Amino acid sequence: MSDLLLSLSTSPLARRLVTSAKLPIPMPEKLARPSGPAVERFLEGTTALVAGDGALGSVLAHVLPRAGAKTLVASDALARVFAGPCEAFGRPLHMLAESDAQRTDKAHALVFDATRVTSPAELKRLYTFFHAYLPRLARCGRVLVLGRPAESANTLAQAAAYNALEGFSRSLAKEIGGKGATANLIIVAEGAEPRAAAVLRFFLSSASAFVSAQPLRVSAQAQWNGADAWERPLAGKVALVTGAARGIGAATAHSLAAEGAQVVCLDRPEDDEPLSQVARDIGGSVLLADVSASDSAASIAAQLKKTHGGVDIVVHNAGVTRDRTLARMQESGWDQALGINLEAVVRITEALLDGTLRDQGRIVSLSSIAGIAGNMGQTNYAASKSGVIGLTRHLARQLATRGITVNAVAPGFIETRMTAAVPMVVREAGRRLSALGQGGLPEDVARAITFLSLPGSAGVTGQILRVCGGALIGA
């Protein structure tokens, strides 16, 4: 399962030799990932460059100084917005000058607020800013573009400009991925600006190391009580994670527990030993159940109600693959993939909605880029994961008045026991078919799930967040 090229690239000598010889060998950058739970000053010692006089200046001013970043702004209007927060948190505020483009010190983040662009001509400001300052972007740095939904535009020209931001950010992600840097677009609906703070923190932090080339929408659709703690945000919450014995499920259980949640770890009875070990490691509890059994949903809901009085976070992670081309696929392979990956999600969710999932709750389901783009030999798996997307979008509308958000995470190539079993050539292709030139880790998916589980992420619902390193396939 070891990525030979990633290991090789950690050697400065190897990188110099490959570069100087101009060999066509990718040298992926080792990604900076978090080593523990969220901390308030996660940008301590870093620099952020901010441009664009949009509607999110005050939100950026709330996040960047408090997180510890030194901020350089490109306009007097931004300077006025940032002045108070920078002073309050003892962070220096500077104006960007033309000479700053030639500086050799690196910036962790380049942020452009394009929420007030009105025409394609105004997109030239994106070019001017990034053309000048992109060379200063640090390895494993962050590029964020902030926009509005195209459907909210007042004119044809504005709609075109808003939608252009997606093509721009996706393409830029491909250009900077070789240095381990990411670029993403945050689309914020009018009235949802305060809800963008938690989203900004996730995308600016190392928790989003394997999320790139993605647009994410922030809306005021779901009711929100304003909760948005920066540290231990899940304290007092009960979380259910299915398929928690290993891989992404185990990583998710660890991540949720680190942020304060009491985690109920669920898996098959035959996985009792590894599941119990995960639960012991995080101070959680064990719930043994076969999710494919017709009576499991009711028993899971009853157990959660009896032991914890209900549940706040539900992570549908349990899943299987039964890959075969359709002509060669056995009926049992179809039934197992659809039964575990989709039908069980529907049954368990319906059971929990009947008085077990509390208001302001969170539902996060595992989809896949195969469910978005399709994949040869995976008609069953892709159908099930695409079904999860439909379920997510439908439930988000249905549960918004209760303050419950419903989202899905769609992993790309992740280094798991499952991908370790595929042929080496296929495995290597999967790793390289991303802007970051490598596979992700279970922890990358777990961090995205945790982000979507936070009280402060109330603005994100009905969304499919790809954790794929900016994969070159799919949407």
Catalytic residues: 381
- Cα dihedral 267/271/276/281 (nearest 10): -90
* Closest to 56 (Cα-Cα) out of 28, 78, 80, 71: 78
Q: Who's near 84: CB < 8 A, 6+ residues apart?
A: 61
Provide the CA 92 distance to its chain's centre, in angstroms.
30
How many other C-beta atoms lie within 10 A of the C-beta of residue 261? 26
CB–CB of 78/88 below 8 Å? no
By the 10 Å C-beta count (0-12 exposed, 13-18 middle, 19+ buried), 47 is classed as buried
Q: What is the largest CA-CA distance in the chain?
A: 68
Task: Report the half-sphere exposure of 406 (CA within 13 A, side-chain side).
Answer: 22
Task: Write the CA distances from 351 to 116, 311, 363, 405, integer angstroms.
Answer: 44, 12, 13, 17
Residue 426 CB contacts under 8 Å (≥ 6 apart), including other chains: none
In order, the DSSP letters of 363-394 are EEEE--HHHHH--TT-HHHHHHHHHHHHHHHH
Task: Tell me if residue 408 falls in helix, strand or coil.
Answer: strand
The CB-based long-range contact list for 374-383 (8 Å cut-off, 24+ gap) reads 376/325, 377/323, 377/324, 377/325, 378/321, 378/323, 379/325, 379/326, 379/329, 380/322, 380/329, 380/333, 380/334, 380/337, 380/338, 381/321, 381/322, 381/323, 381/337, 381/341, 383/337, 383/338, 383/342
